[in-house]
């Protein structure tokens, strides 16, 4: 399978997926969200502002399929063991942040729905019409 086919399959099967950029320093990693939501214009503008001087290059795609992390890396990326360690650690943090943000959004939505439900209760002290 080609890199293109592998990356497309990974993104289609993953619940969380991101395009991976890496600099010469193993700690310099950027994830561009693909799933559960794609990067919006503001995220891309922020990345563009942080880009100069970092020497970022495309590495591939990483995803979380069920509980298993998966990746599709470009063959020319030539990732060293130190870079792979840093990438794995950064991916773990990225997944945790993505999940926490998703729960926060769901919680806020559920809290608002609960407030509407409570607000719509009939007032037992109100006179019957």
pLDDT in tens, the chain (129 residues): 899 999 999 999 999 999 999 988 878 899 999 998 888 898 889 888 888 888 888 899 999 998 899 999 997 767 888 888 989 999 999 998 888 775 555 566 666 767 677 777 776 676 666
22 domain residue, yes or no:
yes
Give dist(CA 89, CA 96) in Å, integer.
11
Q: Is residue 83 included in any domain, yes or no? A: yes
Does 99 map to a domain? yes
Residue 102 is predicted with a pLDDT of: 59
Residue 40's alpha-carbon distances to 13, 47, 88, 122, in angstroms, are: 21, 11, 24, 42
Q: Which domain holds residue 76?
A: 3-119
The total number of structural domains in the chain stands at 1
pLDDT value of residue 76: 73
Provide the 3-class DSSP secondary structure of residue 67.
coil
Q: Is the pTM of this model over 0.75?
A: no
């Amino acid at each position: 399978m080609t890199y293109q086919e592998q990356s497309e399959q990974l993104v289609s099967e993953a619940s969380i997926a991101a395009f991976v950029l890496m600099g010469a320093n193993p700690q310099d990693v950027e994830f561009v969200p693909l799933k559960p939501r794609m990067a919006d214009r503001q995220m891309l503008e922020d990345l563009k502002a942080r880009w100069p001087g970092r020497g970022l290059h495309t590495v591939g795609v990483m995803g979380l399929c069920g509980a298993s992390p998966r990746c599709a890396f470009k063959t020319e990326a030539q990732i060293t063991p130190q870079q792979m360690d840093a990438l794995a650690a950064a991916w773990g943090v990225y997944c945790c942040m993505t999940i926490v943000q998703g729960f926060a959004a769901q919680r806020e939505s559920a809290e608002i729905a609960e407030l509407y439900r409570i607000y719509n209760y009939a007032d037992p002290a109100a006179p019957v019409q």
